[in-house]
Amino acid sequence: MSDETKTTGLLDEFKRRNHIFHDSENESLDEILNKSQVAIKRLVGSDDITDLQIAELVLERSRYVYNDALEYFDDNFQSELIGVSLNNYSDESGVADDSNEL
């Protein structure tokens, strides 16, 4: 699935949330959404926008970029980023934790 296809639904949602009623910025907005999706994947370990928490983070980061305030995103969404990151954490060693077994 291409990045453009992945963020098409997000583009409509982003424009609705930000009261953008024209199409002249679609290319730029799609680029912002794609870059935000990549950044969120780096931060939380997943870019699955069917996960509502991840989609929300992509939309919010994109809003900060659009409003030229990206430097505030990480601080303002730190708890959400950590929470989603923990939800997506998997043991890279592949060894199950057997400490609770008898």
Looking at residue 70, the DSSP 8-state letter turns out to be G
Q: What is the pLDDT of residues 59-69, one digit of tens each?
A: 999 999 999 99
Binning pLDDT at 50, 70 and 90, where does residue 53 land? very high
pLDDT at 86: 94
pLDDT at 89: 85
List the chain domain ranges: 3-87
pLDDT at 8: 66
Distance from C-alpha of 15 to C-alpha of 13, rounded to nearest angstrom: 5
Q: What is the pLDDT of residues 5-52, one digit of tens each?
A: 456 689 999 999 999 999 999 999 999 999 999 999 999 999 999 999
Contacts of 60 by beta carbon, 8 Å cutoff, 6+ apart:
73, 77
The H-assigned helical ranges of the chain are 3-17, 26-44, 52-66, 73-76, 78-87
